[in-house]
Amino acid sequence: MTTNQPWPVFEADTQLPASFYDKVTPHPETPEALLAEGRTITAHIQQVVPEAKLPGKKIPYYIPADGGERYLVAGTVVNVISRAADSGDIFEMFTVTGGKGAGQPVHQHNAHHVALYLLDGESELWLDGERYQMKKGDFASIPECVDYGFRFGAHRSKMLVWCSGPGIQHVLQALGEPTAYYIQPNNADTRWQPERMRAAEQAGDIAFAAEAFPEYTIKPITQASLPEETVPYTLAADEGQKFVGGPEYFALLATQQNTGGKFFVVMSQGPQTPMIPRHYHNLHTENFFCVDGALDMIVNHSQVSLAPGDFASIPAGTIHAYRMAKPFTRFMGFLTPGLFQNFFETLGEAGYQANVYPHEPHKLRFDRVLKELESLDLVIVEEQMRKMESE
């Protein structure tokens, strides 16, 4: 790693020393393997030109809506937007699109924490012995060894699924067949085949329950606040732990306290905004999923635009910035490990009660951010250049 640039040039795959955590405080339950994977930076990562395809290694890339690796699974189209090979074994991510009656029977994972977000339509959700009615925008957090499943209730429904760690792709390959289609076929067969389920249990980390969709009493999702520990929970649309900074507001849908430090999830909402400063992280990967509006991004020396349904992955070491490009823009951030969470309370104000961004911008505490750059795992490129010029 040379130092003749205002930021590091990683000439080979590099695992930064554990001392980089001296001023950063990960959640105490964060697995050591995840911390090591998080601080592993790919060679020449800041020279990578992101492409619109799954890269097969841990570099920046983006995927247009429904443009990933697709499988037909029991009448649903599963669109994989990040595999273990693309994230450095840190996470996998996909969407499930289907019609009424399609879904995933109750099952659990021994080594994967899962997050669900209903992008469109309606769905029943089975979670830890309860049955819920999900509406668009509802969220669920599912720790390891907890039963869950879902079944769509509208003719066009779509679920976003995040899985910590590697291995779920092998399960999907056992359950389904590759497909070139973006939507399920007419009169799709939504039955789950026992032989494929058994093959999936042998292929990866999944165990199906004896009863696929138990007839529990169904109830709405109304929860507006987060628990303080790693337990299964649901969260109603537009709720969460909220902060406001400048023209934007941020709602944490899952904190690292809810995931054992593995990741956190934040929904950002705002109007058209200027580009934020270019920056990078040494110890965590940041992932962007556009829900509404549009995002204009700088990724290294390239420009990338995200529309609803588009996804971008920004591994550690990648220089990036963004601006909200439409009058109403929302995007989800999945950040792993979860050590960047304190950024939001440093930048903004806690306790925001509204469910839309403010008409008048609130104070943006960038002064506090500049004092805490190292503890936040944040390197601002322009700030580094100013320091070099003053020396």
Contact 135, 221 (CB under 8 A): yes
CA 388 to chain centre: 34
Q: What is the CATH T-level fold of the domain 61-220, as seen in this structure? A: Jelly Rolls (2.60.120)
Distances from the Cα of 104 to the Cα of 1, 126, 174, 178, 282, angstroms: 46, 10, 14, 18, 37
- Interhelix angle 194-203/168-175, rounded to 10 degrees, is 160
pTM for this one?
A: 0.95
Instruction: Return the domain boundaries, the chain.
Output: 61-220, 240-390
Structural tokens at position 256: 């690292």
Q: In angstroms, how far apart are the furthest CA atoms of the chain? A: 69
Question: Residue for token digits 């339509």?
Answer: 121
Return the CATH number of 240-390, one of 1.20.1250.20, 3.40.50.970, 3.40.390.10, 2.60.120.10: 2.60.120.10
- Residue (of 219, 220, 230) closest to 254 by Cα position: 230
pLDDT in tens, the chain (391 residues): 444 555 667 889 999 999 989 989 899 999 999 999 999 999 999 999 999 999 999 999 999 999 999 999 999 999 999 999 999 999 999 999 999 999 999 999 999 999 999 999 999 999 999 999 999 999 999 999 999 999 999 999 999 999 999 999 999 999 999 999 999 988 889 999 999 999 999 999 999 999 999 999 999 999 999 999 999 999 999 999 999 999 999 999 999 999 999 999 999 999 999 999 999 999 999 999 999 999 999 999 999 999 999 999 999 999 999 999 999 999 999 999 999 999 998 999 999 999 999 999 999 898 999 899 989 999 998 766 566 555 5
CA distance 88 to 106: 28
Matching fold, domains 61-220 and 240-390: yes
Q: What angle do CA 334, 85, 24 make, to 5 degrees?
A: 45
| Residues 6 or more apart whose Cβ sits within 8 Å of residue 147 | 106, 107, 108, 126, 127, 128, 129, 209
CA distance 66 to 313: 15
Structural tokens at position 18: 């554990």
- Residue (of 61, 243, 258, 87) closest to 168 by Cα position: 87
CA distance 136 to 138: 6
Q: Is the dihedral of CA 380, 384, 390, 391 positive or negative?
A: positive
| Alpha carbon distance, N-terminus to C-terminus of the chain | 21
